[in-house]
């Protein structure tokens, strides 16, 4: 081989090696210039790509980060995790608090005026592997996910991602999520706190976390669900009594056919409503996201988030080749809103994370739990049962909070925890009540109480 050929190969090797180690180069490679179907300009940069979390097995998590719309260098960083287990945070960005939402044609996007990146830099991560665009070169990884490995992999993701985006090292950092992220968020927070104790100079400056309509404690979640279904008139008196009698703590340990039968009766009595939002009509063509059911959870499915027709538009959009190319997706991946393979093969899930919350309160983290009060999957009554089990000291009385003169919901403050109810919201608060959800995250980041009573309340039209 000639000298010039060797020189060329050396130049290519050096260039590739330098680009892999230089964070600015990697950021440029990950930057998204324009989304397909985007007919408008945006005033913020956004990035998408992969971060390897395990080289031996080839596990890589996909992320999408949208900078804050104004002065991003002064804004905190929020990591958003979606539940399931097995559902996509990228999907959540497109139907909840992300800046882009998909139009009905499934081929174009519009700007969300209530995006959370108006107040923070937003990092959406598809976790664990097998969810969305995230993958592993070891096929058995997809059927061996669980809470412990998810927390460990997501912590490793953060450490590696911060090497690529060093400007966020030491930045005020918060974690938020909903549904089964009621496990992910506190468990990841716990992993970070423990990592920081053992590693001086950690780049992760965790300030707090927030979870909504969150799976927290299997027993309390179930008791609260039965209470909610009966209170709002979804089930009969007789079924309510039987649910409490037959589906007790022992039924979590020893399978009970009697409990299964009364749960099926409750399902029949509720009818064809959308349990994620009991007062809104479901999508008439509800064919995209599969409904999942595991015994340890609740009556009714918990696998997916709220199931409006926008899910179908999102699935179409993220499977477009031009979209995957724009987001730097490896090869061609069939993208799903929720992964049945991940959900149906989940390996470990503690019956409660109340002990994790209790541990984290001792570190002075800002901890908020919120709940939409029209959700019949993990309803407000379930969340109140779990908070009550923590035996916290009340420091702020139960009261209404306001949004534009209207009651936005209710709140109560405890030592170490703030609880917020969002009026009229279902399982996904940012989807059903985007403006109120943005007010919620503003107050959370500021560490201030939800807006109190106003002098003049505007009455609703009859």
Mean pLDDT of 238-264: 84
Q: Which two tokens stand for residue 314?
A: 């999102």
Would the pLDDT of 292 be above 50?
no
Catalytic, 427? Answer yes
Q: Is 81 in contact with 289 (CB distance < 8 Å)? A: no
DSSP state of 203: S
Instruction: Count CB-CB contacts under 10 A for residue 5.
Output: 9
Instruction: Report DSSP state, residue 392.
Output: P
Mean per-residue pLDDT of the chain: 88
What are the two backbone dihedrals, phi and then psi, of residue 257, each rounded to the nearest 5 degrees?
A: -70, -30
DSSP H stretches of helix in 345-428 = 354-361, 380-389
Per mean pLDDT, which range of 28-42, 144-158, 298-312 is the poorest? Answer: 298-312
The active-site residue out of 46, 101, 219, 427 is: 427
Please state, in angstroms and rounded to a whole number, the distance separating the CA atoms of residues 399 and 421. Answer: 10
Task: Write down the catalytic residue from 88, 179, 202, 386.
Answer: 179
The rounded radius of gyration (Å) of the Cα atoms in the chain is 23
Q: Structure tokens of 418?
A: 């703030």
**Model pLDDT, residue 456:** 46
pLDDT tens for each residue of 318-359:
999 999 999 999 877 899 999 999 999 999 999 999 999 999
pTM of the complete model? 0.89
pLDDT tens figures, 16-50: 333 456 888 889 999 999 999 999 999 999 999 99
Cis peptide before 85 (omega within 30 of 0): yes
The strand ranges marked E within 347-456 are 366-372, 394-403, 406-414, 417-422
Stretch (H or E) spanning 47 = strand 46-54
- pLDDT above 70 covers a percentage of the chain that reads 87
Under the banding of pLDDT at 50, 70 and 90, the label for residue 192 is: very high
Of 49-63, 165-179, 250-264, 382-396, the range with the lowest mean pLDDT is 250-264
CA 91 – CA 96 distance, rounded (Å):
8
Residue 375 among the catalytic residues: yes
Residue 222: count of CB within 10 angstroms of its CB: 25
Alpha-carbon distance of 281 to 201, in angstroms, equals 51
- Using CA atoms, how far apart are residues 407 and 92, in angstroms rounded to an integer? 26
Residue (of 423, 413, 415) closest to 443 by Cα position: 413
Nearest to 221 by CA among 57, 323, 349, 118: 349
Query: CA neighbours within 13 Å on the CB side: how many for 237?
Result: 0
Q: Identify any residues that bridge with 314 across adjacent strands, giving them in sequence order.
A: none
Q: Can you give the pLDDT at residue 255?
A: 63
Query: Is 374 exposed, middle or buried, given 0-12, 13-18 or 19+ CB atoms closer than 10 A?
Result: buried
Q: Say which range, 45-59, 295-309, 363-377, has the weakest mean pLDDT.
A: 295-309
Q: Which pLDDT score, from 0 to 100, does residue 303 have?
A: 34
Q: Round to whole Å and give the CA distance between 171 and 154.
A: 18
> Helix axis angle, 3-21 relative to 23-30, nearest 10°?
80
The secondary element (H helix, E strand) that includes residue 135 is strand 135-136
Distance in angstroms between the alpha carbons of the first and the last residue of the chain: 86
Question: What's the CATH class of domain 9-218+350-446?
Answer: alpha beta
Annotated active-site residue 179? The verdict is yes
Q: Is the pLDDT of residue 287 over 70?
A: no
DSSP 309-338: THHHHHHHHHT-HHHHHHTT-SS-----SB
Residue 306, pLDDT above cutoff 60 = no
Whose tokens are 């031009």? That residue is: 322
How far apart, in whole angstroms, are the C-alpha atoms of residue 153 and residue 457?
Answer: 48
| Of 375, 386, 403, 432, catalytic | 375
Neighbours of 319 (CB within 10 A): 15
Nearest Cα neighbor of 295 from 220, 351, 212, 338 is: 351
Token duo for residue 318:
């993220």
C-alpha 198/C-alpha 201 separation (Å) is: 10
Asked whether residue 53 carries a pLDDT value surpassing 90, the answer given is: yes
Domain range annotation of the chain? 9-218+350-446
């Amino acid at each position: 081989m000639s000298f010039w050929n060797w020189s060329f190969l050396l130049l290519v090797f050096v260039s590739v090696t330098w680009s892999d180690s230089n964070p600015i180069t990697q950021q440029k490679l990950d930057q998204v210039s324009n989304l397909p179907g985007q007919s408008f300009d945006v005033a913020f940069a956004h990035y998408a790509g992969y971060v390897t979390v395990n080289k031996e097995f080839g596990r890589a998590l996909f992320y999408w980060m949208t900078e804050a719309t104004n002065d991003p260098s002064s804004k905190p960083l929020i990591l958003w995790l979606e539940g399931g287990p097995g559902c996509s945070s990228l999907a959540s960005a497109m139907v909840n608090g992300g800046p882009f939402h998909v139009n009905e044609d499934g081929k174009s996007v519009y700007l969300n005026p209530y995006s959370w990146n108006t107040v923070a830099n937003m990092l959406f991560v598809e976790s664990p592997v097998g969810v969305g665009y995230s993958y592993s070169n070891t096929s058995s990884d997809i059927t061996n996910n669980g809470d412990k490995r998810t927390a460990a992999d997501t912590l490793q993701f953060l450490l590696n991602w911060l090497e690529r985006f060093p400007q966020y090292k030491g930045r005020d950092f918060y974690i938020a999520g909903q549904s089964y992220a009621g496990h992910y968020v506190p468990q990841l927070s716990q992993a970070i706190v423990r990592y920081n104790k053992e590693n001086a100079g950690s780049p992760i400056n965790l300030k707090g976390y927030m979870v909504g309509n969150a799976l927290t404690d299997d027993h309390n979640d179930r008791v609260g669900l039965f209470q909610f279904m009966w209170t709002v008139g979804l089930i009969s008196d007789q079924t309510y009594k039987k649910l409490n009698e037959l589906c007790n703590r022992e039924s979590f340990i020893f399978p009970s056919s009697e409990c299964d039968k009364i749960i099926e009766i409750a399902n029949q009595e509720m009818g064809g409503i959308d349990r994620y939002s009991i007062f809104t009509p479901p999508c008439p063509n509800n064919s995209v996201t599969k409904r999942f059911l595991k015994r340890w959870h609740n009556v009714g499915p918990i696998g997916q988030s709220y199931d409006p027709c926008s899910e179908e538009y999102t699935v179409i959009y993220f499977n477009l080749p031009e979209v995957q190319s724009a987001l730097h997706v490896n090869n061609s991946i069939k993208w799903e809103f929720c992964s049945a393979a991940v959900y149906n093969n989940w390996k470990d899930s503690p019956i409660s994370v109340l002990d994790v919350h209790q541990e984290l309160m001792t570190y002075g983290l800002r901890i908020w739990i919120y709940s939409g009060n029209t959700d019949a999957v993990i309803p407000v009554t379930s969340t109140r049962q779990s908070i009550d089990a923590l035996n916290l000291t009340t420091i702020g009385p139960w009261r209404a909070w306001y949004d534009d003169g209207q009651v936005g919901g209710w709140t109560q403050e405890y030592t170490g925890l703030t609880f917020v109810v969002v009026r009229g919201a279902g399982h996904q608060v940012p989807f059903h009540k985007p403006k109120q959800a943005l007010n919620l995250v503003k107050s959370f980041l500021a560490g201030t109480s939800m807006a109190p009573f106003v002098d003049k309340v505007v009455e609703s039209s009859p």
